Amino acid sequence: MGARVPAAVLRTAGGPLQVEEVVLPEPGPGQVRVRMAATGVCHSDLSLANGTMVQPLPAVLGHEGAGRVAAVGEGVAGLAPGDPVVLNWAPACRACWWCTHGEPWLCERANQAWQRPYAQLADGTEVYAGLGTGAFAAETVVGADACVPLPGDLPLVEAALLGCAVLTGVGAVRNAARVRPGESVVVIGLGGVGLSAVQGARLAGADPIIGVDPVEAKADLARRLGATHVVTPGPGLSRRVRELAGGRGADHAIECVGRPETIRAAWSATRRGGRTTVVGLGGTGDKVTFNALEVAHFARTLAGCLYGNADPAVDVPRLVDDYRAGRLELAALVTEQIPLAEAGAALGRLGTGARSVIVFPDP
């Protein structure tokens, strides 16, 4: 008989999250049961909840989580009960074409765990793990390759953000855009990912670093984390960015919203020959338009970025080193700590702060 644990369950797309018991099986071969300490509420969870991203239902959402190993299945090496870990929602198989060509973030098998049931509801209905992790629950069962070990002294509430927001935002700057010292960066969208991108730009030695967000209350935190300027969006945004970036526009624009208008704004704020990196996930029906002349005339590069173009096994330890050295702030990104029962309400507040983090008792 498996363990019964509370979880925030989504039964229908667009419906509410309901806290109810799910029955977790014992970890099978190659699997690990993790007792969650904290889980961040991410915009991708909202996209899954409202049907923008497709997820088999019913499902337990949540993918940005950290906790401690509670039990391991047969054949698991390198992990033992009590070990702190952060979840990796896109574990690479290490064998497909993308993995063997240095792009594990594009692994063709990374979403396999998303498509199969991992537990049951109390009435026996099979339930799926959102993005393969199911971290809006007191415990979850994942593959051992979805667990990235953490040092024992790292606060787990803060460490949870390494699983998505920080890895994605810093990775967009380091791995995708490859920002160099002295280059100018504009970051559009100052949520958890965008503020992490601001930190990534600071770590890269960028100057100036321009943050863009309609919520003026985010300006002070953005400046604390490395922004040299913070502006609100509007029709004159590209002109303001040019004025702040040597009259040319930004060398790099990092788009962290995923809407057609913000992607277009990021493109327009990028200098001729610069690079626009799109991190935000939009819907399949959202269209961004460019005229045929500007594509060649401006000679900009438009590129997507998935999961920070990161390999969590490599990038998470590097981020931990940055944190320990005082170069990376994590606690500042946590807007509020909430109980599991408030997960649904936190989805509705996305956009007003950095990160709401669900905190579980006695991890």
CB atoms closer than 10 angstroms to residue 101: 9
Query: Tokens 């098998």 map to which residue?
Result: 109
Mean pLDDT of 130-150: 97
Between 260-269 and 237-244, two packed helices, what is the crossing angle to 10 degrees? Answer: 30
How many other CB atoms sit within 10 Å of the CB of residue 268? 18
Domain with CATH 3.40.50.720 in the chain: 166-307
Which are the contacts of 259, defined by CB distance < 8 A and separation ≥ 6? 280, 282, 286
Q: How does DSSP classify residue 258?
A: -
Which homologous superfamily is 166-307 in? NAD(P)-binding Rossmann-like Domain (3.40.50.720)
| Distance of alpha carbon 184 from alpha carbon 206, whole angstroms | 6
pLDDT category of residue 158 using cuts at 50, 70 and 90 = very high
In 3D space, the residue among 345, 331, 349 whose CA is nearest the CA of residue 157 turns out to be 331
Nearest-angstrom CA–CA distance, 357 and 339: 8
- Note whether 138 and 35 are within 8 A (CB): yes
Q: Give the mean pLDDT of 247-267.
A: 96
Q: Which residues of the chain form CATH 3.90.180.10? A: 3-155+330-359
Are 32 and 143 in contact by the 8 Å Cβ rule? The answer is yes
82 has a pLDDT exceeding 60: yes
61 pLDDT more than 90 = yes
pTM comes to 0.95
CA–CA gap between residue 194 and residue 22 (Å, rounded)? 34
Q: What is the mean pLDDT of residues 37-42?
A: 96
Residue 46: pLDDT band with limits 50, 70, 90? confident
Distance CA 45, CA 87 (A): 15
Residue 354, pLDDT score: 66
**Is the pLDDT score of 333 beyond 90?**
yes
Numbers of helices and strands, H then E, in the chain: 11, 18
The reported pLDDT for the residue numbered 363 is: 54
Q: In this predicted model, what pLDDT tens digit does every residue of 289-317 receive, in sequence order?
A: 999 999 999 999 999 999 999 999 999 99
CATH of 3-155+330-359, one of 1.10.579.10, 3.90.180.10, 3.20.20.120, 3.40.50.10860: 3.90.180.10
